[in-house]
Every structure is written in structure tokens, then in C-alpha cells.
Structure 1
Amino acid sequence: MTDIDTRKALINGLHDLADFFETNPDVPVPQYGITASYFPYRGPDEEITGEVDRIAALLGSSIDPESLPHGHYKTHISFGPVTYEAVAILAARRARHDAAASYYGCVTPYDTDAA
């Protein structure tokens, strides 16, 4: 759940961004829209998928089956080019990411330009 101050700040920021775009027509906007993403706090898969299921019920949306093979349990709703999504990253996917990230900084590529 989002606390009321965080929620109000986000809503105000979205209004401010829309007003800014409207009053500054020369400023480019994202070509493919904007996505606001909510990620439940890490926890057991049953807990975080339950949170996404709860949000899906509030949105009147379903779980995106195309995200499941990638370890993401996701639902979304779109308002034109603006999308709100709730995404739970499943434990197996987090473990694969953590394993791959554990090598960060251990390998130094050979710099052919310095030779």
C-alpha cells in the first residue's frame, strides 16, 4: 500500500508534468508514452503475486501471460499512451539476476583501442 503523502506527491507531479507539456509545446514528449510501475516489496512468490492479483481486481484487468516466462507476474491498465502496471518479480528470476550480477566487476574486457 502507498502512504497518503507519497500518493498525493505522485498525483501532483503527474498534474504538473501534464501542465508543463501543455504550456511548453516545443518540448518533445516520449514517443511511446509513459509507464508508472509499482513493484511489491520482495517477499515469497505467493505474497507478491497475491498483491498483484489484488491490484488486478481493483483495475479490472488480468495477469499478462506473456510476462510469465520472463519471471514477471504483471497486470496493467492503460489510458491512451499512459500505463499503470503492477509487477512482481518472481523468486527464481530474482535469483538468476543476483547470480549474474555477482560477476559484476570481476571481468575486465581487453581494450583494443589502448593497444
Structure 2
Amino acid sequence: MNNERDALIAGLIALAGFLKANPEIPVSVAPVIIRAFPANGPDHQMCAEVDKVAALLGTEIDLDHLPHGHYMTAIDFGPVRYEFTAILAAARARHAAIDSYRDCIKTDDL
């Protein structure tokens, strides 16, 4: 048993039950997305993990995200979506390079 996994599932079930029992509580019409990621490692290992999850889900790899360095699969349950994504090394490096400039630019309005 994975206590964190069990806690997440129990929390989702409890939230669903609470919202069902309290229809006056507003909810967003935007989709709810649960995102999970393999441990960082070599791209081929992370992609293999995504392939494994895709097989378990019965889904394909979403090729639309590959140009952005995200190797992912997803499944939808109405407006609720589960995504499993490997952020490939080049995308992580690109993000780190852009983020390295974060405190270098100051604007007068801040």
C-alpha cells in the first residue's frame, strides 16, 4: 500500500461525496487535471515509464506535446483528466536557462 496514493484517492472520493451532498457549493466548469511525472532520469528511461503507464491506461502518446519536450499520455473521465508526463532533458535545460534570468530584470512598476 502506498499511503500517499491512498490518501489522494480517499481525498478525491471525499471531495466528490461532499460536492454531491452539497449542491449549493459552487464548482469550476474548468477541467480538473491530476498530473504525475516519472522520476527525473535519462530521457529513454522516463519515456519507457510513460509508455508503461500508457499501456496500463490503454492510451496513446500525445504527439502534440513532443515539440515542447513533453512525452505524455492522458485519459479523460468527463471533465477530469489524468496526465503522466516526462519532461525531457532539453525542455528542462531550456526552462532552467530562461529561469536563470528571473531576477535580472527590474521594472519601474514593481
> Which TM-score bucket, shorter chain as reference?
over 0.9
Equivalent in the alignment of 2:57:
59
Shift of 1:65: 0.7
TM-score, normalised with respect to structure 2: 0.93
Q: Mapping of 1:25-44 within 5 angstroms?
A: 25-44=23-42
Q: Mapping of 1:80-91 within 5 angstroms?
A: 80-91=78-89
* Partner Cα separation in structure 1 for residue 98 and residue 83 of structure 2: 26
Greater C-alpha Rg:
1
Identity value in percent: 51
Shift of 1:40: 0.9
Shift of 1:32: 2.2
Equivalent in the alignment of 1:102:
100
Comparing 73-82 and 3-12, the one that deviates more: 3-12
Matched position secondary structure for 1:110: coil
Report the AA paired with residue 93 of structure 2.
Answer: A
TM-score, normalised with respect to structure 1: 0.90
- Aligned-pair Cα RMSD in Å: 1.4
Report the AA paired with residue 73 of structure 1.
Answer: Y
- Give deviations 1:64-114, integer Å, cap 9, x for gaps: 010111111010111111111100001101000000001111110122xx9
How many residues are paired up? Answer: 110
- Structure 2, unpaired ranges of 5+: none
Equivalent in the alignment of 2:8:
10
